[in-house]
A and B are shown apart, each in its own frame.
Chain A
Amino acid sequence: MTQPEISVSRSRWTHRDVAPFVSLMILLIFFTVATGGDFFKVATFVQVLRQGAILGIVAVGLTFVLLCGEIDLSVGMVALWCASFSGWLYHAIVLDGWTRGETVLFEPLGVEHAGGGWILLIIALPLLSCLLLGLISGWLTVWAALPSFIITLAMMNIADGLSAQVTQSAALNVPEVLKTIGNRGIPITEVRELPYSALVAVAVFVLGHIVLEHTRFGRYVFMTGGNREAARLAGVRTDAIIVACLAVSAFTAGLGGLIVAGKLANVSQDQNASLLLEAVACVVLGGTSLFGGEGSMTKTAIGVLTFSVLAVGLNQISWVPDLLRPFVMGVVLMVALVVNGVLAKRG
């Protein structure tokens, strides 16, 4: 038998890929029916986007980390640190100034006089510091050959402590631009706006997708997670890849934290408590493997949307009491994950 010319189109999509999308559709239909059509409105759409935007940004970075076979437990607290640092800088430079004891180190600029450059600094510097924290986590993970689980767990506590130190347990104010991004958007109807935060999230997703699918770095991330030794022997600098991924997740976490603070108009120590688990849930819901080597930005996006639809939908169903909501959320999540898993095995 001569080998036949492969003319059969082998579909790239398997059951495993389609499952999360199917879950999303089921949820949408369910909520539309359960709320008697109330669900399928622009208002809900906007709410889902707003919920999903922050989770989405963090999930993008987390996807990189999971794909290379590691995990980053510090995302919630790094997000908090970023906002805290930004808030502190804002107070120090713009609002209150910086005095130590008797000496005035810095006179406050005042909101009207704080130019774009200063505001940029107040936002960029914390983001860079997050990058630094990620680099440290990554470097320690590869140098000490310890599981990233352990290192990022420690980093989580470090970031938490740093935030507490910098805010001194007070609620700090944040730059106006963050509040705008967190709350406002492009008008689409008379009353509704397309949230800016969602636009930021889309940009981050698109960037993440391009890097993952179309750059060498992205390919190396996949292969490092899929079979680290094989990648190493093929000349991939797996250590550098891991450090880079952890840096990316810290950066996106920081970005997410800034938008959270913007949305809430301040930064306080109780923010982002559930960010880590929710972000991980989104990524896994989308079908990215916790073990590395399998996943994509599209999958994560679907996971984020599914999660947000679930959260917003539950809110709208009046017959679920408030206290039970986390429980119902958890049950549905579990069912969705199991269904995805079962379909993945078949596919």
Chain B
Amino acid sequence: MPTTAISPNPPAAEAVLQCRRITKRFGGEVALADVDFSLAAGEVHGLVGGNGAGKSTLMRILAGALPDYEGQVLLDGEQVRLSSPQTAMSLGIAMVHQELSGIDSLSVAENLFLGRQPLTRLGWIDWKTMRRKARMYLMELGIDIDVRRRLDSFPLVVRQMVEIARGLNSGARVLILDEPTSALSPPETRRLFEMIAELRKRRVAVIFISHFIEDVLEICDRITILRDGQRVETKPVAQLDKHSVIHAMLGHAMDVAEVGYETSTTLPPRRDEPAVLRVQGLTLPGHFSKVSFEVAAGECVGLYGFVGAGHQELVHAIAGALRPSTGTITVDGVPLRLGNAAHAVRHHVALVAADRAQSLYHKAEIHKNVTLAHLRAAVGRWLSRKAELRTTEPVLRRVGCRPADPRLAVWNLSGGNQQKVVLAKWLLGPIRVLLLEEPTRGMDVQAKDEILKIIADLREQGVAVVLASIEPELLLKQADRILVVRRGKQTHEFTDTQLDKTTLLQYA
């Protein structure tokens, strides 16, 4: 049992939400044990914890998604039972998920009033009023946009803010934000924080779940740290700094300030080795044009750009997920058929996409997902459950998936663990080229560390790695060379030089 220095939960003035001794079991496992949590009106409360610490479980309980929990939840002093998402919503608890749930093809106004459209006297939808109210409401929150445009025509941060506005509009007093900044650039994070400050003014209570400890320290009033399903401590942010938070999360000190991150680095000279992956003149209209580069064995080439720069689509194109209109891709000299994912996989090109919905069938068991890419090698001609579980367990343990039970359905896992399952899928067979798109997004320090270690191992074995990310720190730490992409075009290649975040940003 880890030491649990349970510090007294400071009584919050006018606690709008109080959780007492919340416990949740999944079969034989205890995901949360006697967790207390309290939230005051107008407070921004950060929730941090490692892989499997219980953050998502606690939030799912509050959102009404896990109705059979033990313990008490009190809203404004009165005990309530969070028996379904509708109940939670009607009680004023709204959650904005890591993966947003707006309807992309509808307009912003329609999304804001989803299910609660204003009606005319005849019972038709009053579009004019809806648009007017939507615009007014968003303006009050500091968002000035054309509410008639489709939701997906706006950048991610705006979509997040619309979702927050929707929650508020339906009367939420407690807003849970799950990893809100993980896909946002620094200016976008600013904008979100401005909105959260506005929420504070309106006495809305916010639970801010994030792996970016700097963000949590910046915006939150108090922070609760969970570890292994228990509350370690809750402290006002003034009494905490990054080191002490990480210490509490992991139970021991980390000597590196932040794993896998760097703000400046010296890139090594270019290796004089034959290229494993060669991309030439690759063009996908609307996304990127005439991209060319090479990657040698064991080398990691970083692709940097803002969201929408095209480097993420580029990585998909190399994997055969998207079909470029012109260009060539060769692996060990063999040209890959463009847009043919099966062909790429046969030539040992592995893609770990940012969007897990593209990589996993969530309803299926973990072992079915893990063996999919290398079914023949992993299990042979005759599929037997026992043999498959036997093959899957070691690789799950290798990637550090918790829990490492291949019989569970994938949706039971937290986001970070799901990402590990995706990696495990490729580890069952040989890899020549590893394409990574935001591989550590939404992961805590420990999980990031584990994933990066595996990638480092693979590089040592001669795998050519392409890492596409919008996080400059990650690339500065991991990449041997960095290509900057802006609006689909390569603007610069950094190699054999001193490089820092500012310079990188300049070229993006």
Contacts and interface: CB of A to CB of B under 8 A. Distances in A.
A60 B384 CA distance: 21
Interface in B309-354: 319-321, 341-342, 344-346, 351, 353
Contacts of A293: 361, 363-364
A293 B2 CA distance: 41
B122 to A, nearest CB: 34
A222 B368 contact: yes
Given A1-B230, A6-B405, A234 B373 contact: yes
Contacts of B28: 4, 6-8
A220 B369 CA distance: 11
Interface string A4-18: 101110101000000
A145 to B, nearest CB: 13
B33 A227 contact: no
A190 B403 CA distance: 59
A231 interface: yes
A192 interface: no
Interface stretch (B105-113, B146-154, B200-208, B375-383): B375-383
Given A1-B230, A234-B345, A237-B342, A227 B360 contact: yes
A237 B362 CA distance: 20
A214 B381 CA distance: 8
Contact of A215 (B359, B368, B381): B381
A216 B319 contact: no
B375 A233 contact: no
Contact of B402 (A3, A8, A12): A3
Contact of B360 (A8, A230, A237, A294): A230
A229 interface: yes
B286 interface: no
Interface string A209-238: 000011110111011001101111111110
B27 A8 contact: yes
A233 B319 contact: yes
A234 B381 contact: no
Contacts of B342: 232, 235-237
Contact of A216 (B230, B375, B425): B375
Contact of A226 (B353, B363, B376, B407): B363
B375 A219 contact: yes
B248 to A, nearest CB: 16
A74 to B, nearest CB: 28
B84 to A, nearest CB: 12
Most buried by A among B342, B369, B382, B425: B342
A10 B367 CA distance: 14
A227 B361 contact: yes
B163 interface: no
Contacts of B371: 219
A7 B382 CA distance: 26
Contact of A232 (B341, B360, B402): B341
B407 A10 contact: yes
A223 B345 CA distance: 16
B321 A233 contact: yes
B383 A1 contact: no
Nearest to B4: A1
Given A6-B403, A8-B28, A293-B364, A233 B341 contact: yes
B383 A235 contact: no
B372 A231 contact: yes
Nearest to B355: A229
B88 to A, nearest CB: 18
Given A219-B383, A223-B372, A1 B229 contact: yes
Contacts of B407: 6, 10, 12
A214 B375 CA distance: 11
B383 A213 contact: yes
B145 interface: no
A10 B389 CA distance: 13
A193 B197 CA distance: 80
Contacts of A233: 319-321, 341, 351, 353, 358-359
B331 to A, nearest CB: 14
Contacts of B6: none
Contacts of B345: 234-235
Nearest to B402: A3
Nearest to B30: A1
B255 interface: no
Given A1-B33, A3-B29, A4-B29, A231 B384 contact: no
Nearest to B2: A1
A342 to B, nearest CB: 15
Contacts of B402: 3
B230 A230 contact: no
B361 A223 contact: yes
Contacts of B362: 227
Contact of B361 (A4, A6, A226, A235): A226
B357 interface: yes
A7 to B, nearest CB: 7
Contacts of B361: 223, 226-227, 230-231, 293
Interface string B22-39: 000001111001000000
B256 interface: no
A90 B437 CA distance: 62
Interface string A309-331: 00000000000000000000000
Most buried by B among A7, A213, A227: A227
Interface in B374-426: 375-376, 381-384, 402-405, 407-408, 425
Most buried by B among A1, A3, A233, A236: A233
Nearest to B358: A229
Contacts of A7: 28
Interface string A224-258: 00110111111111000000000000000000000
Interface string A174-211: 00000000000000000000000000000000000000
A346 to B, nearest CB: 12
Interface in B18-73: 27-30, 33, 52
A97 B375 CA distance: 52
Interface in B208-263: 228-230
B405 to A, nearest CB: 5
A148 to B, nearest CB: 20
B381 A216 contact: yes
A230 B319 CA distance: 12
A1 to B, nearest CB: 4
A258 to B, nearest CB: 31
B373 A219 contact: no
A230 B383 contact: no
Most buried by A among B30, B361, B381: B361
Contact of A10 (B27, B375, B376): B27
B13 interface: no
A213 B382 CA distance: 9
Contacts of B372: 219, 223, 230-231, 234-236
Interface of B: 1-2, 27-30, 33, 52, 228-230, 319-321, 341-342, 344-346, 351, 353, 357-364, 368-369, 371-373, 375-376, 381-384, 402-405, 407-408, 425
Given A232-B321, A233-B351, 9 more contacts: A1-B33, A4-B29, A6-B405, A222-B368, A227-B362, A230-B359, A234-B359, A235-B341, A235-B373
22 contacts: A1-B1, A1-B30, A1-B33, A3-B402, A6-B403, A7-B28, A10-B408, A12-B407, A214-B382, A216-B375, A216-B376, A223-B361, A226-B363, A229-B358, A230-B358, A230-B361, A233-B353, A233-B359, A235-B342, A293-B361, A293-B364, A294-B363
